[in-house]
Amino acid sequence: MQYRFLSLLLVFVIGGTFLMCRTYPDLNKFVAVPAPIENPTDSAKIALGKELFFDTRLSLDNTISCATCHKPGFAFTDGLKTSTGINEQKTDRNSPSILNSGFLKTVMFDAHLKTLELQAIVPIQEPIEMGHNMKALIPQLRAIPEYQEAAQRIFNRDFDAYVLTRSLAAFERSLISMSAPFDHYIKGDEKALNADEKAGWKIFSEKLYCTNCHAPPHFTNHEARNNGLYKDYSEDKGRFRIHLDSSDIGSFKVPSLRNIEITDPYMHDGSMETLEEVIDHYAAGGQGHYLQDKTIVPFELSKKEKKQLMAFLKSLTDLSFLERL
């Protein structure tokens, strides 16, 4: 199907950096996001979830909200190597974007939770993140008239853990970012990408092995893989910590590449600051961990090809969600 597209540029300020964003008719409104049968999405539920998402009262000392680690201006990451929780404690891992999380088949870097409803409880009770206890938190939130009224109106029940997790999950499913220049190109607008971006797409999809793990349209395969980041995963062994299965050592969920231009630093531990570092890591064939994914092998790119690959990756940037918040 062919579309007519606008050629306007929209300026966003992300972490002090000006991004010139090409704007087009919003494809996101045509995107259907799956939701569990027991938690259908509606506007009232999303609105309640949004209030909860930005509410610091969900943390033990009233200093941390979900948005502390998932800032809208950073594509719902926080721009830090690893996140900061209550009492200035540092987490073990980098904060992933939650844009398009409604499409995820698994959540968390360990790829062990199946739903956003289950995930919502984790950071709230994690001692170094929000540090609260659900038994103490729920009565506090129920005592807030606005939350209790919304729970009765939307769910026909008192505010409880069910209301909290279903509302947060509904809000997260509303965060769609699939109207990047690349999306418009795939829909038929040849002018949506320039020559370098098109060449970069061919390098990404045909010359290299990138689509084995970062397959469109979501640019992830939703699986936990060992990308050879380290030869020895001495402290954080990834998915291994869930089932203590030695074959899971070094395996972390493959992140989406959407909005990767503004979700630095990269890798599960935020150990790489630039996209150039990431490309160099894969070009070298990883660090050679004995469980490293077999598809990761060395490759060579010319200076021009590297520039083109970078240009393609930046064509996955879509900040239109900021206008809808």
- Residues 6+ positions from 236 with CB-CB distance below 8 Å: 92, 93, 268, 269
Secondary structure of residue 207 in the 3-state scheme = helix
Both structure tokens of 35: 């939701």
131-146: buried (b, 16+ CB within 10 Å) or exposed (e) per residue? bbeeeebbeebbeeee
Q: What is the DSSP letter of 10?
A: E
Helix axes 145-155, 43-53, angle to 10 degrees: 150
**Partners of 18 in the β-ladder:** 13
Spatial contact of 5 and 184, defined as CB atoms under 8 Å apart = yes
DSSP state of 29: G
State how far the alpha carbon of 264 is from the alpha carbons of 137, 269, 273, in Å. Answer: 33, 11, 6
| Pairing mode of beta strands 252-253, 17-22 | unpaired
Rounded distance, CA 166 to CA 40, Å? 9
The Cα 66–Cα 25 span in angstroms is 30
Residue 243: count other Cβ atoms within 10 Å of its Cβ.
11
SS3 category, 224: strand
Run of H or E residues at 19: strand 17-22
Q: Give which of 293, 119, 93, 278 is closest to 204, Cα–Cα.
A: 278
- The active-site residue out of 129, 197, 261, 305 is 129
At 165, list the tokens.
């997790």
Structure tokens at 287: 């660090």
Q: State yes or no: is 51 an active-site residue.
A: no
Question: With contact defined as beta carbons under 8 Å apart, do 182 and 192 qualify?
Answer: yes
- Looking at the annotation, which residues are catalytic? 129
